[in-house]
Amino acid sequence: MLRFLFLTAALAFAQSDAPTNDAPNPYHTVEGWAKLPDGRKMGSTSAVEIDKDGKHIWVAERCGANSCLDRQTGQIKDIPVILRFDPAGNVVKSFGAGMFIAPHGIYVDKQGNIWVTDYQDNAPLPAGRGGARGGDAAGRGRGAAPTGPIGPRPGATKGHQVYKFSPDGKVLMTLGTPGGTANPDECCFAPNDVIVAPNGDIFVAQGHGAGNNRILKFNKDGKVIKAWGKLGTGPGEFDQPHCLAFDSKGRLYVGDRNNNRVQVFDQDGNYISEMKQFSRPSGIFIDKKDNLYVADSESESVSRNHNGWKRGIRIGSLKDGKVIAFIPDPAVDARGTSAAEGVAVDAAGNVYGAEVGPMAVKKYSKK
């Protein structure tokens, strides 16, 4: 019976992989929604999530830049990067100063605790070399082969970890070794996203530019109990597993970004199906009605990834897998990545996009 249900789901998700650029856009942009305190500007962010109340919004940004690491001094900026916004876009709480190199994924569990991944490290770069440090350093091409070092780099003492915070900002749990690990069955190297099942099991997707391209499953106490995946294009293989979500049946959706697909698994890592009609997934959100929101921040970008597909947020129902709405990226001719990389939807149906290149959080409301 279970096999029949999985087959039925796979058939329902099966769609053409032709570009889905023409769905209507039923949303308008709420200009200037996110307002930061005086003297502060928004940095790059791929991390946006809805609070337990369905109204407030959590964002993890990168210290007004694309990294919290001061490249001249090697110091982490003492700026709180985890921000709670009220529905009007005002910051009402902040914490996490001096802890992160580059926050990447965020999740709020059913108790209201906030989980955030840090996907880079603070290892010094070789003399004369610029660019990002840590997990992203080897993957700047975004369309090139995702090769690079896996494991701790010389001098790395921070980063590549996952933090669990109370709603007041107290650290409740830390997953991973500071600076990263080369063991593919341990946490972490380039952790992209984190999500928590109703029973407390924790799932982490890792592998960004360099890394193990795996999903790690932990029990509620933070012990690894399962791992699956490797670099590849087949079922259950990944090329930059970038984002995670659960549907109402507890199935795990993995945004397999460089493979331009969303893969679906049960919580034991058994492959169920895949979807390509939602384009190149940087962020995923599934609401209580099993509507799927997928943010594509990279198609047709500087490295010409996924040609013919437009960047933006695609929306559809998991009942039939069809894309029924599309919020396009306004920066049509952007030379680099743009549009939302993270996506979340509040209880009223407003859509929020976290943007790396434009360094912004956009709010979209129904027209």
Per-residue pLDDT reduced to its tens digit, 220-249: 999 999 999 999 999 999 999 999 999 999
Whether 111 has a pLDDT exceeding 90, the answer reads: yes
The conformational region for residue 194 under phi > 0 = left, psi -120 to 50 = alpha, else beta, is beta
pLDDT at 150: 74
> For residue 204, is pLDDT > 90?
yes
pLDDT band at 337 (very low <50, low <70, confident <90, very high): low
**18 token code pair:** 């032709």
Contact 76, 98 (CB under 8 A): yes
* pLDDT at residue 125, rounded to an integer: 73
pLDDT in tens, 114-135: 999 999 999 987 665 554 444 5
CA 302/CA 334 separation, integer angstroms: 8
Reduce the DSSP state of residue 255 to 3 states and report it.
strand
Amino acid in position 239:
D
Amino acid at 169: G
- Quick one: CA dihedral 356, 352, 34, 160, positive or negative? negative
Which residues lie closer than 8 Å to 336 by C-beta, 6 or more apart?
A: 301, 302, 357
CA distances from 159 to 68, 83, 135, 189, 256 (A): 11, 19, 9, 9, 23
Average pLDDT over residues 167-188: 94
Over range 300-311, report the average pLDDT: 78
HSE-CB for 172 with a 13 A CA cutoff: 16
| Distance separating alpha carbons of residues 190 and 193, to the nearest angstrom | 9
CA distances from 78 to 37, 64, 82, 95 (A): 15, 12, 12, 10
Q: Taking the CA atoms of 137, 99, 341 and 210 in sequence, report the sign of the dihedral they define.
A: positive
Q: What is the CA radius of gyration of the chain?
A: 19
Are 92 and 51 within 8 A, CB to CB? Answer: no
Across the range 108-112, mean pLDDT stands at 98
Distance of CA 323 to the CA centre of its chain: 20
Of the chain, the percentage scoring pLDDT greater than 90 comes to 76
Average pLDDT for residues 341-353, to the nearest whole number?
A: 98
Specify the pTM.
0.91
Write out pLDDT tens, residues 174-183.
Answer: 999 999 998 8
- Give me the domains of the chain, ranges plus CATH numbers: 2-366 (2.120.10.30)
Q: Which two tokens stand for residue 295?
A: 């943010």
Q: What is the mean pLDDT of residues 254-275?
A: 98
